[in-house]
Amino acid sequence: MITYSRLLIHLVMIAGVWLAALPVAHAEADISELGDISELRDQQHYIDAEKQSNPLDFLDVYDPLEPMNKRIYAFNRVFDEYIFLPALSGYRFVFPQFVRNRFQDFWANIGEIPNIYNSLFQLKIEKTAVSSWRLVINTTVGVLGLWDPATKWFELERAKEDFGQTLGHWGVGAGPFLVLPIVGPSNLRDTTGLVTDYVAEREIDFLGVKEAESNDDTGGWLLKGFDALNQRDINQFRYGMLGSPFEYNKVRYLFNQQRELLIAE
């Protein structure tokens, strides 16, 4: 609980710092154009001033599909509350933390494949080597990836790279913001990355998992379900957790910032 909360503290604090820093950045610039805010006492003055200048540009994440995105966002919230989270509770009830950690390590190991080729595509040789070693060690010593001795014993930290990051690395911009059904916030670049990685992972089909997952039979659906539940288990985001009437704007902004950080790193 305390580790979780400490992690959350810092996630939220950093989130707060980002969220905070940006808007004010512009709010401030705005205020300077308008004069002291305390002098602005009548409402019409506010509105007129706003119409003239538009200095809070950073909040304007390019979002031409906003009406549709917002609808999908609302759908995701409801889906999360009534389907995903109850399923997650069941998942957590049935499988103790120890077992869930094995699942987590297993899927993470399968996920080394995109880490490797995307590091390579970005000519990050050290990362490519680290991810390759991780895959070799965890698949063998770690029993098909159920454990993660690469981190524990060899201090080879997991370095996540996806095709969206690769595109970003070579200068591709984020493009329009997109909210994907169930998956959540994304943008055109990262959605392209997501699809590319999906196809590539299926082609490579490490340990036969992705092929099995795509089967339209009980096993395939079970695997898909486990994959999704594992991801929801790791993801600590909860709709409404910001308790703000501007959650969509904050999430939208924060998502892009977080992606930029990952690309820069």
Residues that bind other proteins (CB under 8 A): 1-3, 5-14, 16-32, 36-38, 40-41, 43, 46-47, 50, 56, 58-60, 66-67, 70-71, 74, 157-160, 239-241, 243-249, 257-258, 260-262, 264-265
* Cα 200 to chain centroid, rounded: 20
Match 């009437």 to its residue by tokens.
Answer: 245
| DSSP assignment letter at 184 | E
Nearer to other proteins, 18 or 95 (CB): 18
| Least distance to other proteins, CB of residue 248, Å | 6
Distance between CA atoms of 113 and 138, rounded to whole angstroms?
12
| Least distance to other proteins, CB of residue 257, Å | 7
Nearer to other proteins, 80 or 213 (CB): 80
Report angle CA 68, 74, 75 to the nearest 5 degrees. Answer: 90
| Least distance to other proteins, CB of residue 124, Å | 11
Nearer to other proteins, 17 or 99 (CB): 17
Nearer to other proteins, 208 or 245 (CB): 245
In what helix (H) or strand (E) does residue 177 lie, and over which residues does it extend?
Answer: strand 177-180
DSSP states of 69-105: HHHHHHHHHHHIIIIIHHHHHHHHHHS-HHHHHHHHH
Nearer to other proteins, 102 or 160 (CB): 160
| Least distance to other proteins, CB of residue 166, Å | 16
Burial of residue 112 (CB within 10 Å: 0-12, 13-18, 19+) is buried
Report angle CA 191, 62, 22 to the nearest 5 degrees. Answer: 110
| Least distance to other proteins, CB of residue 214, Å | 29
* Cα 33 to chain centroid, rounded: 36
| Least distance to other proteins, CB of residue 199, Å | 25
Nearer to other proteins, 125 or 195 (CB): 125
In what helix (H) or strand (E) does residue 107 lie, and over which residues does it extend?
Answer: helix 97-110
| Least distance to other proteins, CB of residue 168, Å | 13
Nearer to other proteins, 161 or 201 (CB): 161
Cβ within 8 Å of residue 76, ≥6 positions away: 179, 181, 182, 184, 239
